[in-house]
Chain A
């Protein structure tokens, strides 16, 4: 069974500081990996995804993530935090097999707070 672990339910950084949100997954086959962001009272928006190919993936709003198979990790980073980055972030894994219906398995989420 797949699972996703996000380390830290709350992360607080100062504006301009590095953002690092951690995600580890377990999967018996190479999965597709995603980061989604949720702003208050809104739905989920895709930040970036890893399917195949280059392991360093760049997304929207200056975020990027690196797929490390040996560490089963897909950590999200941004060099310099902005106040508008304050939101909840979800890591998710998907097995691309038709019988699984492209189901996403989500981590518990990390709330990012940005201090001025």
Chain B
């Protein structure tokens, strides 16, 4: 099983550029979410989705956009990259039994 697949694994952007981080899961989970991980701050929720067509903001949504057109995919868009968005990004999907499955992460550097 592929589980949760994130692409790309690494990315360098210039300030002001936009890009999309891809996330796909093959477990038919309803719930998907995006987190960013910064040293000493744990993982903070950016956006989440409770099903296709339904998304909502998490703790740190500014500068990011999401959509959920299918159950499988939950892309995260950076609208205009800033150095403060340098981070490691994780996508997760959650089954009804509450265990979250995480992707391997995308390490993003904004210069």
A-to-B contact residues, CB < 8 Å: 4, 6, 9, 32, 34, 36, 42-46, 49, 51, 90, 94, 96, 98-99, 101-109
Contact = CB atoms under 8 A, between A and B. Distances in A.
A101 B58 CA distance: 10
Contacts of A105: 45
**Helix, strand, loop or mixed for chain B's interface?**
strand
B78 interface: no
Contacts of B43: 44, 90, 104, 106
A44 B58 contact: no
Given A101-B56, A102-B94, A104-B92, A44 B102 contact: yes
The 8 closest A-B pairs by CB, nearest first: A106-B42, A43-B102, A101-B50, A106-B43, A108-B42, A44-B102, A102-B94, A102-B31
Contacts of A99: 50
B22 interface: no
Contacts of A44: 43, 90, 100, 102
B45 A103 contact: yes
A9 B98 contact: no
Interface residues of B, number: 26
11 contacts: A43-B104, A43-B105, A46-B99, A94-B98, A96-B98, A101-B33, A101-B56, A102-B50, A103-B58, A108-B40, A109-B40
Contact of B41 (A45, A94, A108): A108
A108 B98 CA distance: 21
Given A43-B90, A44-B90, A104 B100 contact: yes
Interface string B90-109: 10101001111011110000
Nearest to A50: B98
B42 A107 contact: yes
A102 B54 CA distance: 14
A109 B98 contact: no
A36 to B, nearest CB: 8
B25 interface: no
